[in-house]
Structure 1
Amino acid sequence: MTAQRGKDLLLKLSDASDPEAFSIIGGLRTKTLSLNTQMIDVTHSQSSGGWRELLVGGGVRQASVSGAGVFLNDASAVTVRSVFFAGETRNWQIIIPGFGTIAGAFLITNLDYAGEHDREATMALALESAGAITFAAEGA
Structure 2
Amino acid sequence: MGVQRGRDLLLKVEDGAGFSTVAGLRARRLSFNAQTVDVTDSESAGRWRELLEGAGVRRAALSGSGLFRDQASDETLRAAFFSGAILTYQVVIPDFGTVTAPFQVTALDYAGNHDGEVTFEIALESAGAVSFAGL
TM-score, structure 1 as length reference: 0.92
Tell me the percent identity: 53
Q: Which runs of 5+ in 1 are unaligned?
A: none
Shift of 1:31: 1.1
Contact 1:25–1:72 (Cα < 8 Å) also in 2: no
Q: Which amino acid aligns with 2:128?
A: G
Q: 1:61 aligns with which of 34, 58, 63?
A: 58
2:7 paired residue number: 7
Partner of 1:51: 48
Q: Size of the alignment, in residue pairs?
A: 135
Which residue of the partner structure matches residue 118 of structure 2? 121
The alignment's C-alpha RMSD in Å is: 1.1
Matching of residues 1-140 of structure 1 within 5 Å: 1-15=1-15, 17=16, 20-138=17-135
Q: Verify the 8 A CA contact 2:44 2:50 in the aligned structure 1.
A: yes
Question: 1-side partners of 2:81 and 2:110: how far apart?
Answer: 13
C-alpha contact 1:25 1:71 (8 A) present in aligned 2: no
Structure 2's unaligned 5+ residue stretches are: none
